[in-house]
């Protein structure tokens, strides 16, 4: 699954996203990130167990990033 993240840069974004992936038993295959003019962007490829849906991934990532 390809996941992209865009947000105002701040400490902890990578930790929040990777925690959301980890909670669902996901595994990072590749990750690229950059910060341009105070804006954080990240594109990653993650694998998940077959029983994990796209909706579950979206919800886990939303919970993690909403914590801030």
pLDDT tens digits along 3-41: 999 999 999 999 999 999 999 999 999 999 999 999 999
Model confidence at 66, in pLDDT bands (50, 70, 90)? low
* Residue 48 pLDDT exceeds 70: yes
Map tokens 């167990």 to a residue: 49
Across the chain, where does the E strand assignment appear?
A: 2-8, 27-36, 39-47
Task: Answer whether 7's CB lies under 8 Å from 13's CB.
Answer: yes
Whether domain 2-66 has CATH 3.30.70.260: the reply is: yes
How far is residue 32 from each of residues 2, 49, 56, measured CA to CA in Å? 11, 22, 23
Domain ranges of the chain: 2-66
How high is the pLDDT of residue 64? 72
């Amino acid at each position: 699954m390809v996941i992209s993240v865009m947000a105002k840069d701040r400490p902890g974004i990578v930790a929040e996203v990777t925690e959301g992936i980890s909670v669902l038993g996901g595994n990072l295959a590749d990750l690229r990130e950059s910060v341009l003019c105070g804006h954080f962007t990240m594109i990653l490829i993650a694998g998940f167990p077959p029983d994990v849906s796209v909706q579950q991934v979206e919800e886990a990532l939303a919970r993690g990033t909403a914590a801030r």
